[in-house]
Amino acid sequence: MSRDASKRGTPTRLFRHSGVVECEVDDQQDLTTEKRAFLSLAMMKGVGFHTLWQIAESQRSFQSVFNSSGEDLVQLLKSRGARLPNSSKADWKEIMSSLARSVDQLEATFQASQIQIVLRSDESYPRTLLHLDDPPHWLFVQGNTEVLTAPSIAIVGTRDPSPEGLWLAEYVGLTLRHWGRPTVSGLALGIDQAIHNASLAAKVPTIAVLGTGITVDYPKNIGPIRKKIVDAGGAVITEYLPGESYSAINFVRRNRLQAALARALIPVQWKERSGTAHTVRFAAGLGRAIAGLRLPTWDPRSINLPDGRGPRHVFTVPGQDEAFRAFVEKSLSDDLLYRQTSFL
């Protein structure tokens, strides 16, 4: 889990914030009191992901915590890992006043950029994430929240694909219209971005799961593709706080969300020690269908899928094209308590 001291974007004195891609959107409702309290706590200097997670795990509302008296609030936050600066009562009053103004500013940015906070109690929260041992207590979602609850296909792979890997990504991309379902990937360079672009070309929504905060420009200059994803009815999502930067553990935890959101996983090109391998293992543990791909020239032993509760098969393409399409298509309509089925 990301700790409060994990790497973040540069904070101001009291809060974290950075630029985010703006999209043309309709007016949205103001944040609920609970979400505003969550955002207020998240923007306090010394409070981070770990502290907020501990509060949520204790089943206390963020509103009840934030409405505590100054001394009680400080002690409660410190008991959950926050590193708050020493402040007098006068300082604390100014801090809370400045914090309120900062939350107003960030809320306005969220509205202009079509960003919503989705809590686990919200109807728009994707229930498939509850299959995880540690489902997110919150999500930041830029774009269409409804796409998160549709049956989808996770398609991931290496950041440094070979020409053969790019061919496989293009092959899968050309099949997306056949399934007509949203895709899930990680917005990383290489295979992930190839799949997002192929989804846009196929006119199917695509979901980008970030390993950073929703306001972070990572990979660098990713704004144009994010805007295309949102404008096309897709979504960019993360559980990390605004301004929070990347880390190895953040990407691992991000990968569990990719696996849990989707009903099927297609790892395109990957190594056994890689981020994609983490996603494959998460999918296997969750009972998701896994469709591995190999070219006829590849060693049959080059792709090994882990044991899991769901169906899995490595397909040779071209050659087993119909079987591959049928395998994925069935997984999209099947119960998530999968049964082993032969498609060959």
Asked if residue 190 and residue 317 are part of one domain, the reply reads: yes
- Note whether 74 and 186 are same-domain residues: no
Q: Give residue 312's domain range.
A: 129-333
Q: Which two tokens stand for residue 27?
A: 């007016």
Same-domain pairing of 85 and 140: no
Residue 244 forms part of a structural domain: yes
Domain boundary among 60, 81, 112: 112
**What long-range pairs does 321-330 form, CB within 8 A, spacing at least 24?**
324/175, 324/291, 324/293, 325/175, 325/178, 325/179, 327/264, 327/289, 327/291, 328/153, 328/179, 328/264, 328/266, 328/289, 328/291, 329/178, 329/179, 330/289
CATH number at residue 255: 3.40.50.450
Rounded to two decimals, the pTM is 0.87
User: Are 233 and 266 in a shared domain?
Assistant: yes
Q: Does 98 share its domain with 185?
A: no
In a domain, 286, yes or no: yes
- Token pair listed for 67: 């409405």
Tell me the pLDDT of the chain (344 aa) as tens digits. Answer: 333 433 333 322 222 333 333 333 333 445 799 999 999 999 999 999 999 999 999 999 999 999 998 889 999 999 999 998 877 666 778 888 889 999 999 999 999 999 999 999 999 999 999 999 999 999 999 999 999 999 999 999 999 999 999 999 999 999 999 999 999 999 999 999 999 999 999 999 999 999 999 999 999 999 999 999 999 999 999 999 999 999 999 999 999 999 999 999 999 998 777 779 999 999 999 999 999 999 999 988 888 898 888 999 999 999 999 999 999 999 998 765 443 333 33
